[in-house]
Amino acid sequence: MCSILGIFGLQPGDDVSALRRHALELSQRQRHRGPDWSGVHLDEGAILVHERLAIVDPAGGSQPIRSADGQLVLAVNGEIYNHRELEAGLPQPYEFQTGSDCEVLNALYRQDGDVCGWLSRLNGIFAFALWDRASQSYLIARDPVGVVPLYWGHDGAGRLCVASEMKALVGTCNDVAQFPPGHWYDSATGELTGYYQRPWRDYDATTGVEVSAAELRDAFERAVHRQLMSDVPYGVLLSGGLDSSLVAACAARFARRRVEEDDRAEAWWPRLHSFAIGLDGSPDLAAAEVAAEALGTVHHGFTYTLEEGLDALPEVIRHVETYDVTTIRASTPMYLLARRIKAMGVKMVLSGEGSDEIFGGYLYFHKAPDARAFHEELVRKIDALHNYDCLRANKSMMAWGVEARVPFLDVEFLEVAMCMEAAAKMVGIGADGRLRIEKAVLREAFAGYLPDSILWRQKEQFSDGVGYGWIDGLKAHAEAHVGDREFAAAARRFPVNPPQSKEAYFYRRIFERIFPGEACAQTVPGGKSIACSSPAAIAWDAAFANAADPSGRAVAGVHQAALA
């Protein structure tokens, strides 16, 4: 994964040398995403800059990628997991210039005029800008869920700018905004079009659809296997919770063979390494040790102190580009862990984001009144992932040049898991008369893969699992640095999404210093990702409306009261 920056709409009178220097300066703000190499393309209509993190074809996959005739220029941040199948299915031969998995985008653009069609066939995480010199037009697109970030806006001369991170456009684009997931923009028509519309979004399309434990397990194993595509050392994040442990368990089964050679050759780095972090004595560190021992990974458990976490907050907010309370709480230990992982020479990790949104893992799902409401809330949560967990995982890791991949959000796995009848995912009493806790259908599918203490470990938010003293310390720190009078005037100082707690105010103050202006503030929806603040959750149980803290332990009295 890398970073891209594009400036489109250059005019004959523009000082292209000055614009090129400006584009390089903007791109340098996100070079942490791509520390391995920089590439620039400049012509009469566009500038594309690419900062590369080399994971596939590290010796020859530099970008921007140009077609053999020089007419197509592509800058991509991402991975196309099914690139070999797409290349094999091309209707005509294409003269590839690199071994990059992303170059297939140029071929598809040239040979298939149905853009929505070929974008829908991609299985990957991506954000890209493709410049067509012959038509002086460009195409911009982002992956279906928004695993990879992308921002756009216009400079003072009306030129359209696009970048992987908002910080690259601050001060240049007063209208900076997120580019929406699952969409593409065609400069020739000026239209922004959604391409990812799946039948499972409608509850009625899922009623009566049965997915066996074997089907669910096989689909997830295939997703993990696909995402082990790498020519550099990789590992897994292992918190000891269900989701990261399942990712690690599946990865451990495939780690000894090389995916890019159809498992015929031994992997270049056959030992799977796993990574965890927490305060001294944290629940996650203890559980991760149990999971790692069972799976046989080379495990690395790191500790951090409250002071180290507090010291990192300004840099965390600068990198993750949000003032959302839950996201910052969880991003900080992840940011510190990424630095450790980078120091060990690992450039890619698999992570467990997305499972709770697909299977209803958050505790307020216990209160869902029926399967339709349950399913509709799952869809809403998936649609919001790009603002929360995907943003956290991507930007916290990429702050140190480590790519995070998320097998639960693999589009082929999503197709299987989200087509399943929602009633099968809900908590309640099973046919055997026993209570089925959240994500029971997923746990049952992987019986025997993990120790029962891990397989049936109940939901714990990452920011809680690293140690309950972390959240308490953040609150106390904010209380000491935000005065009562200052907080009372929060709505006047921050009219966009006014902070609802002193902790939120503290983060917002840092955010505003780095990302001034109303447009930047509006890229963060609500500024409060507290799960139980969702309209659906409040409708399910009015008590959720009064929950003021997004910590998992504050939601419905944690696990026991969630079933009351």
Asked if 49 and 19 touch (Cβ cutoff 8 Å), the reply is no
DSSP 512: H
Asked if 50 and 63 touch (Cβ cutoff 8 Å), the reply is yes
Distance CA 79, CA 405 (A): 9
CB atoms within 10 A of CB 495: 10
Closest CA to 277 of 267, 287, 264, 269: 287
Residue 298 bridge partners (DSSP): 273
Asked if 433 and 256 touch (Cβ cutoff 8 Å), the reply is no
234-237 and 273-278: which strand pairing?
Answer: parallel
Distance CA 252, CA 224 (A): 10
Catalytic residue selected from 2, 250, 390, 520:
2
Write the single-letter amino acid at 116: C
428-429 and 403-405: which strand pairing?
Answer: unpaired
DSSP 502: H
Closest CA to 416 of 353, 372, 352, 358: 358
- Residue 80, classed as helix, strand or coil, is strand
Give catalytic status of residue 2 as yes or no.
yes
Residue 141 bridge partners (DSSP): 128, 184
Distance CA 379, CA 2 (A): 29
Q: How many angstroms separate the Cα of 311 from the Cα of each of 255, 331, 353? A: 36, 13, 26
Closest CA to 2 of 43, 47, 48: 48
Distance CA 19, CA 154 (A): 14
Q: How many angstroms separate the Cα of 558 from the Cα of each of 36, 218, 459? A: 44, 32, 9
Asked if 413 and 220 touch (Cβ cutoff 8 Å), the reply is yes
Which residues contact residue 227 at a Cβ distance below 8 angstroms, ignoring those fewer than 6 apart?
79, 81, 350, 405, 407, 410
Distance CA 226, CA 206 (A): 26
Q: Is 208 exposed, middle or buried (0-12, 13-18, 19+ CB in 10 A)?
A: exposed
- Is the backbone peptide bond immediately before 525 cis, with ω within 30 degrees of 0? no
**Residues with catalytic roles:** 2
